[in-house]
Amino acid sequence: MKLIRNISRLLVGLVFIFSGTVKGVDPLGTAYRIEDYFIAYGTDWAMPLALFISVFLCTLEFILGISLLFNASIRRTSWVLFPLMIFFTILTLIDAMWEPVPDCGCFGEVVSLPVPAEIVLDVALLAMLFIVVRAGSDFPGTSGRGRWTLSAQASTHNLLVTVA
């Protein structure tokens, strides 16, 4: 079971790092895709927020993926990712049924999956994330309050970052 938990954590983390990175390379392209969703769902009033949401979403995906990859604050990270994945899965299912937006833009312009493959990917990620959520703080290195420390040395200055 420990192996399955770790593989799930690593795979979900890598997918979110990849997704956040490829969308972050072209935040305007992601903003255009978000605008497509705003138009499709009749929320034109939110169009000025598209670029902000794009940058925020790319950053959030990348940070949550890194947190999973490096086993940092697993409980919090998984509880943020789980509702996010539920939202993405529901949105993909709606796209599959009524096709309001032809391509979800899940991986920017780098990877364009057909809608059935997107659904399978979302459900698989949701299942793996469920395993991570259920494991909670059972991952090694997350004892206590789940503190994680990264230290690096840059020339003569020490950099110490603590994520709690």
Give pLDDT tens digits along the chain (164 positions): 789 999 999 999 999 999 999 999 999 999 999 999 999 999 999 999 999 999 999 999 999 999 999 988 888 998 899 999 999 999 989 988 888 887 777 787 778 888 888 899 999 999 999 999 887 656 655 444 444 444 333 344 444 444 44
**Mean model confidence pLDDT for the chain:** 83
Alpha carbon distance 70, 6 (integer Å): 11
Residue 130 tokens, joined: 């469920």
Q: What pLDDT was estimated at residue 139?
A: 62
Q: What pLDDT was estimated at residue 105?
A: 76
CA 41 to chain centre: 22
Q: What pLDDT was estimated at residue 140?
A: 59
Q: What pLDDT was estimated at residue 153?
A: 37
Residue for token digits 């790092």?
A: 17
Q: Helices (DSSP H) in 26-73: which residue ranges?
A: 27-40, 50-69
Overall domain count for the chain: 1
Nearest alpha-carbon partner for 23 in 121, 142, 103, 141: 103
Q: Residue 49 belongs to what domain range?
A: 2-163
Q: What pLDDT was estimated at residue 137?
A: 59
Q: What letters, b where the CB count within 10 A reaches 16 and e where it falls short, cover 38-66?
A: beeeeeeeeeeebbebbbebbeebbbbbe
